[in-house]
Structure 1
């Protein structure tokens, strides 16, 4: 009886241990994917990586001995810059010192830049097979620095401070093309900071900028003076036009006045002539010598017209 009890007790312990072992194995078969991650499932038994990535956050059963290869699901930064101690970097971001490049005219220029990149979910397995689960960062640095250095030779030193927008656009296009082709990485945005030039060249740039500003000021002053002179010329032309209009008006007024005076004079002379004609006809109708009587009539009319002048007029008596 005692032996049977011992056997039953030993069997129960083995069952409990087996259940605990199975539970532990099952628990080890679950792996967690964070909300900011994508993952590839690595099969330890076949030493292979499954094609489809795990993109849903939470626990996933991958099997005993298998594990997950995680990748960032969010956009990350790559910096080629100098930072002070107050900057707090993200562990998943890439930090490198500024790039030293050569321009098309041979000048050595130091560039600070940054860009935002994102892994392509559909290409995660291809990326892993190419560089591993974390080696893409080092490869990204090499590809980016090579692309920037190569395309920097397409621009002169002047372009890096005078046409920085064109340079930035060319760098972004070249970098996006290379990272997509080599590492299946998408460039979300690109920012080029002001370039650093050698001291002598930097001083020449400052002097050039000052001269450009002086030229702009001089051009603006010249434009202002031209506008002032044009305004004065316009005012003078307007004044001359007004004078011409006034003179033409006065001339027209004088002409009209003279025409009125002439017409009035002609009318008066016509009326006088008609009166004198009637007077001469009257004297002729009297049967006497009309001309002497008409002249005597004219003398009387002249005397009447000059009556207030205090002048003495000698008249021939009328017979």
Structure 2
């Protein structure tokens, strides 16, 4: 048995298979008249594509890739489409015996095609046509999940791993393609307008921030100047009060000197005019 293969042993006399599959490459003694039914042990590729470009390179292998025409499906809004898709699949060894009893020796290829086509058609029906151009990632993830469910049915004798799903092309009616082109152009214009709006908002916010800083700076300067004027005015008031207080004390002393004098004005005159006689 060659590398890259599993096998189950078919007993010719009873037309039954042994319970344990063969998983190691090498020479096998299976008995006279018996036969090894071989299955791929590595990942195989299934294509739903109109062109075989890039497929023929692996077609000479023991298990050539499965190539079928694009899948005819409908979107959630009822548009007919042709979907070009590919993915890889790999059988689990514990599923070989149930698979043989379920589909026979050579029937699994056609069954796998039916399972895959049904899963992809089902997924396509859940999404509107425009999403195949605007948000294809979500659709690819949903297709992969649906394929995994379809190929993991151990209770029915089917266990296969799925990976590498590629949604390569979605062919829609020409009228819709034109509409999609116009919609994409409008979306691009909308994105440009949004970017310009964001740029203007940033510029306005920057200008507002600069103006706010300038106003705060002016207020701080005016506050400093106001505090200086208040301090100067307070100093002048303090000086005037001190002067008035001293003037009042001086006047009080003069009044006390003449308090009991019967002729205060003459004394004042003498003290001013003839201080030496006072």
TM-score (norm: length of structure 2): 0.84
1:54 aligns with 2:22: yes
1:220-239 equivalence runs, <5 A = 220-239=195-214
Deviation track 1:196-250 (CA, whole Å, cap 9, x = no partner) reads: 3222212222221221121122112112212222222222222222222322322
Confirm or deny: 8 A CA contact 1:104 1:153 kept in the other structure: yes
1:37-186 equivalence runs, <5 A = 37-81=5-49, 82-84=51-53, 88-90=57-59, 91=61, 92=63, 93-181=65-153, 184-186=158-160
Structure of greater relative contact order (alpha carbons < 8 Å, 6+ residues apart) = 2
Gapped regions of structure 2 (runs ≥ 5): 274-278
Which sits farther off after the overlay, 175-184 or 96-105? 175-184
Which residue among 237, 242, 259 is the counterpart of 2:217? 242
Between the aligned partners of 1:144 and 1:87, the Cα distance in structure 2 is 21
Confirm or deny: 8 A CA contact 2:75 2:126 kept in the other structure: yes
* CA distance 1:295–1:157, change in 2 (3 Å): farther
Confirm or deny: 8 A CA contact 1:123 1:184 kept in the other structure: yes
More helix by share: 1
- Cα drift, residue 273 of structure 1: 3.5
Between the aligned partners of 1:58 and 1:45, the Cα distance in structure 2 is 24
TM-score (norm: length of structure 1): 0.74
- Cα drift, residue 78 of structure 1: 0.8
Which has the greater radius of gyration?
A: 1
> 1:59 is paired with a residue of what secondary structure?
coil
Between the aligned partners of 2:173 and 2:271, the Cα distance in structure 1 is 120
Between the aligned partners of 1:209 and 1:193, the Cα distance in structure 2 is 19
> 1:79 is paired with a residue of what secondary structure?
strand
Which sits farther off after the overlay, 175-184 or 142-151? 175-184
Residue in 1 that maps onto 2:162 = 188
Which residue among 212, 215, 224 is the counterpart of 2:190? 215
Between the aligned partners of 1:79 and 1:201, the Cα distance in structure 2 is 25
- Cα drift, residue 35 of structure 1: 2.3
* CA distance 1:77–1:99, change in 2 (3 Å): same
Residue in 2 that maps onto 1:272 = 247
* CA distance 1:255–1:74, change in 2 (3 Å): same
Confirm or deny: 8 A CA contact 1:101 1:110 kept in the other structure: yes
- Cα drift, residue 194 of structure 1: 4.0
For the aligned residue pairs, the C-alpha RMSD in angstroms reads: 2.8
* CA distance 1:221–1:289, change in 2 (3 Å): farther
Residue in 2 that maps onto 1:26 = none
Between the aligned partners of 1:251 and 1:170, the Cα distance in structure 2 is 71
